[in-house]
Structure 1
Amino acid sequence: MKADLIISHAYVMTMEGKGVGMIENGAVAVKGDTILDVGTTEEILAGYQADRVIEAKGKLVMPGLIDAHIHSGISIYRGMAQDMSHWMQKGLWPFKKNTTQEESLAGSLVTIIEGIKSGTTTFCDYDYGMNRIVQHYAKVGARARVAETVNELPNDIGKNPVGELYPFDRGLGGQRLQDNIRLFEEWHGQENGRITVLFGPQGPDMMSTELLLEVKALAEKYDTRIHMHVAQGDREINQMVKRYGKRSIPYLDELGYLDSRLMAVHLTEATVEETQLVARRGASMIYCAGSIGIIDGLVPPIMDFLEAGGQAALGSDQAPGNNCNNMFNEMKFAAILNKVKRSDPRVFPAWLSLRLATIESAKAIGLAHEIGSLKKGKKADLLLINLQDPSLSPVYTNPIRNIVPNLVYSAKGSEVETVLIDGQIIMEDRKLLTIDEKEAIRQAQEAAVQISMRSRDDIVEAHSDVYQMMEDGYL
């Protein structure tokens, strides 16, 4: 049978079965956008011929990584809001109010490039201006599950004193919801199905009950999922108790929000009982280990959620205070932080981290029928990783195979050599084929210079901890 591409003589990590589904001398055949077959090299070469055969001895073939929660539109502020208190109010909002949409778009493209180069093939992006950001994914060739950020916060919310109840602007909330509807109607299913659209209410504390219920009804009408922060921090719980007299998760449960449509992000402030309730109701949890560790100094209850039978995924969240959108970073953080939290080195093994960035993530975001594992009939989203890189060498296969632990605890992402998405080679030998990487970085740098000049007074007024470090000579 004829294939377009065969990758042979590789370690093939399928992510099928209960672990990682390793085939030590494996091969993958691809035709069009689809995986034609997976098996041993002997089986695939005997059954298929291809226009191109990649000899992959000393390399690993695995599914593309899934970033289940990312805000690419704020990546232009990379590294501007960590090691501080109130990172959103004091670190993020002073920059956002001084940023144009074009500048935000420049940062978004660079972080998508970063993700691709570190093996991310699917991005669950969730931000303002998504009707324009989504065009980056179309151009780059990535798979994306996108949502417009919907809330009722006024544009000058940064002026709101920390701890005071947020004012709501119903008109703005309605406009943002219409942007999300337009995003769905124009982009859902586009680019050979690579682009799909969700609804993105920012959080239960940032919009009225009426708007939340309207979003829920629309998600049911369009038969899609809801991507929302839930119990993401003490500021959210404080807002909910002040406004409604109840915490986020009980409130959402009363509204019927906790179901299989909901992708609940963070759960940082959820109690054990609340976490178990979310899992029991069938909502998925998106765990952003690096982001929450850095901006809150906390480890969300991912282990409680998994032990309650919940479906979970990993996400990188944001670059201002996580500093990278690299899923290898997230896999390592997730494993290490939970070992420390439970004081048990056996907790959160490397294979679990890998599953939460591939097949389990695909289930959590509703795309397991297409991606997340290397299986006949699924989309050809896959990575070719150099196991001869110093960070992954030497390779042991007996009596213990060390490839999986080294991917999680040692790899940096730069070991990814080639990326296929939807059967198309997007990056080969570390070179992006669909976008001018150097020009994208140049434009983002120009944008950052302009933002920095406009934002200085607001950063000083916000009493940013990071600005004070600059003043004190530490940075």
Structure 2
Amino acid sequence: MREKANIIIHGGYVLTMEGPGSGMIPNGAVAIRGDSIVAVGPTPEILKQYSAHRYVDAHDHAVLPGLIDCHIHTSNAIVRGGSQDIAKWMYSGVLPLLSLAETEDLVAGSMLNIIEAVKKGTTTFCDYDFPMLELIKNHIAAGTRVVAAEMINGLPTVTYGVEDTALREFDTARENKKFSDAVRLVEKYHQTYNGRITCMMGPQASDMCSVPLLKEIRSYAEKMNLGIHMHVAQSPRETRQVMQRYGKRPVELLDELGYLDRRLHTAHITETTAAERALLAERGVSMALCTGSIGIIGGEIPPAQDYMALAGRVGLGTDQAPGNNCNNLFNEMKFTSILHKVKNTDPTSFPAWKVLRMATIEAAQCMGMEESVGSLRAGKKADVVLVALDTPAMSPVLAWPVRNIVPNLVYSASGSEVDTVLIDGAFVVENGRMRTIDEDAEIKRANRCAQLLCQRLEATGWEKDMPLAGWTREGYY
């Protein structure tokens, strides 16, 4: 007698991401019971061993583990495209806009971003943002997996006219409020919704939090056994501010404060020295590589290649929509591979199978989640993505003696080929449409909020100093 499963996905090219490469099983199948995978293997074997309430025919599909975005600020989608092509992307782009965004705007932007990303295969979001006590409700409603962190800082809420060369003062009341919000987030949501919702602590950066606050965050993370999600050495601005205030570089400061261990998940580390990277890797710190964001807003390639050579853990992230413009891990994989090939003048750099792993199993390892997500294996959560291969961009399929499926996923796919997404064994996207959210209504809501935000911006007069506003008036944008 066959064992019972709820769902069997069968007949596809199953990329398990187990082993050193993609773990491909041609004509493979995945059996799901409840929220978990119970078996993965060749279709004839799985169908012989299991029966199911529902069968999903995956012929002409690649079957992948859900993609994992290691670093994303979902609310920033409300000002998508507001920070590219300019020298001071933060102070002349995103911050004046976000200073005027109200909670309703940020929530609308976050939901828009979640819809965009999950429809392109992202199932786990390392959402590092504010106000996370409100934004997390979007993940609950959408059915996505999230590692949520309230982004904690002590900076003023209005940033118009601020110069990043001047030493900034911290607002103790704001620090206390942000820390309190982070604690409330953990107390209310950590390890809830069958473990689909988890939390980390999220100091924004070493130049944006006072030392007493950084110590308090670290102490709470240790007490609650939480990870810490943090921008580290992300820009010359951070190094300059920390040097002015403490006479030392960010990594040195964080080392003195006890931050450098496997608990710490860093974004960017763009401004680290070779010695600092060696120290971070030795201590087990993980890195989120956001190639698209840093490439567009900074014209740089973060030092992921060096970090990986030191056996540092690296996963892909999309960062923020104002300067990256999209939160699409297919785009991130392609961009990451191409830029490193160009950097090295070496077409063998960052091969397709490697960057696919950086968006799946290696991303899971960065977050300490490799026992539950990131690959397709019995016992893991049933986060599964089906990508149609019978499309012009993905055809023809070469199956043997050479196979082009993984290269085409990285270099040809746009993400629009994703037609089915399961999270915790539940269908979140089916036939290319969200099942949990009214996506049309959410797009309209975000556009209404964006229009009101633009009206508030014009009323302030701040736009006169914003390059994108000038180019808009001149007809370039």
The two structures share one fold, judged by TM-score above 0.5: yes
Residue among 308, 322, 325 paired with 2:324: 322
Q: For residue 55 of structure 2, what is the amino acid of its counterpart?
A: V
1:161-180 Cα deviation digits (max 9, x unpaired): 23111110112101100100
Structure 2: which 5+ runs fail to align? none
- 1:456 deviates by 2.4
Query: Percent identity of the aligned residues?
Result: 49
Larger deviation, residues 90-99 vs 226-235: 90-99
5 Å-filtered alignment, 1:39-118, equals: 39-118=41-120
Partner of 1:256: 258
Residue among 422, 447, 450 paired with 1:448: 450
- The SS at the match of 1:36 is strand
Residue among 98, 120, 123 paired with 1:121: 123
5 Å-filtered alignment, 1:159-178, equals: 159-178=161-180
Larger deviation, residues 450-459 vs 207-216: 450-459
Q: Is the 8 A contact 1:130 1:148 kept in 2?
A: yes
5 Å-filtered alignment, 1:430-445, equals: 430-445=432-447
- The SS at the match of 2:399 is coil
Residue among 254, 266, 269 paired with 1:267: 269
- The SS at the match of 2:321 is coil
Residue among 422, 433, 436 paired with 1:420: 422
CA distance in 2, matches of 1:402, 1:165: 53
Q: For residue 185 of structure 2, what is the amino acid of its counterpart?
A: L
Q: For residue 98 of structure 1, what is the amino acid of its counterpart?
A: L
- The SS at the match of 2:114 is helix
TM-score, length of structure 2 as denominator length: 0.98
Larger deviation, residues 116-125 vs 463-472: 463-472
CA distance in 1, matches of 2:384, 2:170: 44
CA distance in 1, matches of 2:283, 2:355: 23
Larger deviation, residues 461-470 vs 419-428: 461-470
CA distance in 2, matches of 1:245, 1:344: 39
Q: Is the 8 A contact 2:267 2:289 kept in 1?
A: yes
Partner of 2:355: 353
Larger deviation, residues 333-342 vs 216-225: 333-342
Partner of 2:373: 371
- The SS at the match of 1:30 is strand
Rate the CA distance shift 1:423–1:459 in 2: closer, same or farther, 3 A: farther
Partner of 2:394: 392
Rate the CA distance shift 1:238–1:109 in 2: closer, same or farther, 3 A: same
CA distance in 1, matches of 2:239, 2:370: 33
- The SS at the match of 2:469 is helix
Q: Is the 8 A contact 1:85 1:465 kept in 2?
A: no
Q: For residue 37 of structure 1, what is the amino acid of its counterpart?
A: A
5 Å-filtered alignment, 1:28-47, equals: 28-47=30-49
Larger deviation, residues 411-420 vs 273-282: 273-282
CA RMSD in angstroms, aligned pairs only: 1.1
Q: Is the 8 A contact 1:129 1:148 kept in 2?
A: yes
- The SS at the match of 2:323 is coil
- 1:210 deviates by 1.2
Partner of 2:146: 144
1:231-282 Cα deviation digits (max 9, x unpaired): 1111111111111111111221122211000001001111222122211110
Q: For residue 300 of structure 2, what is the amino acid of its counterpart?
A: L
- 1:459 deviates by 6.6
Structure 1: which 5+ runs fail to align? none
Larger deviation, residues 84-93 vs 415-424: 84-93
1:148-167 Cα deviation digits (max 9, x unpaired): 01011122233322311111
Q: Is the 8 A contact 2:96 2:159 kept in 1?
A: no
Partner of 1:192: 194
- The SS at the match of 1:53 is strand
Q: Is the 8 A contact 1:90 1:462 kept in 2?
A: no
Partner of 1:309: 311
Q: Does 1:247 align with 2:249?
A: yes
- 1:458 deviates by 5.0
Residue among 219, 222, 225 paired with 2:221: 219
Larger deviation, residues 333-342 vs 60-69: 333-342
Q: For residue 352 of structure 2, what is the amino acid of its counterpart?
A: A
CA distance in 2, matches of 1:384, 1:163: 48
Rate the CA distance shift 1:322–1:459 in 2: closer, same or farther, 3 A: farther
CA distance in 1, matches of 2:271, 2:468: 25
Q: Is the 8 A contact 2:17 2:361 kept in 1?
A: yes
Q: For residue 191 of structure 1, what is the amino acid of its counterpart?
A: Y
Q: Is the 8 A contact 2:231 2:266 kept in 1?
A: yes
Q: Does 1:282 align with 2:284?
A: yes
CA distance in 2, matches of 1:380, 1:148: 27
Q: Is the 8 A contact 1:459 1:467 kept in 2?
A: no
Q: Is the 8 A contact 1:91 1:459 kept in 2?
A: no
CA distance in 2, matches of 1:63, 1:281: 29
CA distance in 2, matches of 1:457, 1:347: 49
- The SS at the match of 1:380 is coil
- 1:137 deviates by 0.5
- 1:457 deviates by 5.4
Q: For residue 375 of structure 2, what is the amino acid of its counterpart?
A: S
Partner of 1:19: 21
Q: Is the 8 A contact 1:84 1:464 kept in 2?
A: no
CA distance in 2, matches of 1:459, 1:258: 43
- The SS at the match of 2:475 is coil
- 1:394 deviates by 0.6
- The SS at the match of 2:160 is helix
- 1:471 deviates by 2.7
- The SS at the match of 1:379 is coil
Q: For residue 293 of structure 2, what is the amino acid of its counterpart?
A: S
CA distance in 1, matches of 2:193, 2:115: 18
Q: For residue 331 of structure 2, what is the amino acid of its counterpart?
A: N
Q: Is the 8 A contact 2:329 2:359 kept in 1?
A: yes
Residue among 470, 473, 476 paired with 1:471: 473
- 1:450 deviates by 0.3
Residue among 147, 152, 157 paired with 2:159: 157
CA distance in 1, matches of 2:269, 2:343: 16
Q: Is the 8 A contact 2:96 2:158 kept in 1?
A: no
Aligned residues: 475
Rate the CA distance shift 1:192–1:311 in 2: closer, same or farther, 3 A: same
